[in-house]
Amino acid sequence: MRISELARRTGTTPRALRYYEEQGLLHPTRRASGYRDYDQRAVHTVGHIQLLLSAGLGTTVIAEILPCVPDDTTVLAPTCPELLDGLAEERTRITRSIEKLAAARAILDRLIQGP
């Protein structure tokens, strides 16, 4: 499928998809015309990328994780146990961010409710 179709199917933009390719996260083939050609797996890959980006992970970390999540049923490929420590650190960082956001929300709730 072409980039516009992948963008439509994943709810992203062609620009974002080109960025993912630049970062080594997507690997389309090229048609003779030079157009990018994505296979069906790219839809799942983009979903994983978007989820991991929304969790606050950088593209360098995502590039390490993606090969270890080969499909939607495998949690972590058995060839990637070395990622577990790093993933645990990222989980801790996300938990701290959630706690800070919850504290900020509580302050806003009190301000909105007034005295």
pTM comes to 0.74
pLDDT at 46: 94
Six token digits for residue 4: 């516009």
Cβ neighbours around 36 below 10 Å, total: 20
48-55: long-range contacts at Cβ-Cβ below 8 A with a sequence spacing of 24 or more? 49/20, 49/25, 50/10, 50/12, 55/90, 55/94
Mean pLDDT of 42-67: 89
Mean pLDDT of 82-106: 90
pLDDT at 90: 85
Running DSSP on this structure, what letter comes out for residue 57? -
Report the percent of the chain where pLDDT is more than 70: 93
Cβ neighbours around 25 below 10 Å, total: 20
In the predicted structure, residue 76 carries a pLDDT above the cut 70: no
